[in-house]
Structure 1
Amino acid sequence: MKYLLLVSHGDFSSGLKQTLGMFAGDDAIGSVIAVGLKPDEAASTFGTRFEALLKTLPEDASFVVLADIVGGSPLTTVCNILNDHGKLQDTLVLGGMNFPMALTTLMSKDSLDNSALKEKAFSEATAAIKEFQTTSSEASDDDDI
């Protein structure tokens, strides 16, 4: 089974998983794992928690990893442990996760190869970044004159 592994500082990953469930449904989020480095938690303790979680998954589990920050302790720790278990080589690892990126990755992870999935995830992530423009109520009032 291919899992979407959300990695973050704090509760960002678990909140994102909850929100994905609102859009994709409970069946889809069964393949989503959220792990976060808790405030004041040592990276080694976080690693121990992730290692224990990894041992509960099927031996043939594969991963797409989305992380809040490339180079941060949570992602570095997760990648080191995946590598120790021989799982990193075939894992797609992307940073800068946002909701559109996560939703696209979740919905496409089983139908696209890693190269196409990376392109689609990056495209959705960047396309979602835009300014929300509003009009002031004064401008609307002036239009009525």
Structure 2
Amino acid sequence: MRQVILASHGKLAEGLLNSLRMIIGEELTQDVETYCLFPGENPNDFMNKLKERIATNPQMEFVILCDIKGGSVHTALSQLCVHHNVKVFSGMNMNLAMDILLSCPQVIDAQVKDSIVKNAQDGITFLAADDLKAEEDDEF
């Protein structure tokens, strides 16, 4: 079994979960949790609560998607990687979340991790008017 947790500063995690439900449906996202850090809160408080769940559920894989690499949420939750059943990703985005929810096997190993990260990165693109002009020129 897998528990996916979307973790962010502010309401980004909640917004991403709402978007996921719109695109892939309630059924595939019913077990996804969110953690939103707000001013004055300490991410270590959530980390300590989660640590207890992880210790009492060694058969469950906990996959945590954080918004910013090196941010306070990521730094606190990365401490949980001392447990064999915890995986933490940073740079949370729609591609990353959808890949984990739709096409990821039950256990994320090194090979699967590399594929997940590559797919998330491949979803980031840039397009501007100059790019459109170059595409038009290539067609002729």
TM-score bracket, normalised by the shorter chain, equals 0.7 to 0.9
Q: Measured at CA, do residues 63 and 31 of structure 1 come closer, stay the same or move farther in structure 2, by a change above 3 Å?
A: same
What is the match of residue 35 of structure 1? 35
Cα displacement string for residues 108-129 of structure 1 (whole angstroms, at most 9, x for unaligned residues):
2335633233122212211111
Write the distance in 1 (CA, Å) between the matches of 2:50 and 2:114: 32
Write the distance in 1 (CA, Å) between the matches of 2:122 and 2:71: 24
What is the match of residue 111 of structure 2? 116
Q: How many residues align?
A: 128
8 A contact 2:68–2:91 mirrored in 1: yes
Write the distance in 1 (CA, Å) between the matches of 2:50 and 2:88: 20
Unmatched runs of 5 consecutive residues or more in structure 1: 136-145
Cα displacement string for residues 1-26 of structure 1 (whole angstroms, at most 9, x for unaligned residues):
20111111111111111111111211
Write the distance in 2 (CA, Å) between the matches of 1:31 and 1:76: 24
8 A contact 2:8–2:73 mirrored in 1: yes
TM-score (norm 2): 0.73
TM-score (norm 1): 0.71
The amino acid that maps onto 2:120 is: A
RMSD: 2.8
Write the distance in 2 (CA, Å) between the matches of 1:112 and 1:128: 23
Query: Are residues 1:127 and 2:126 paired?
Result: no
Give aligned-pair identity as a percent: 28
What is the match of residue 65 of structure 1? 64
What is the match of residue 103 of structure 1? 98
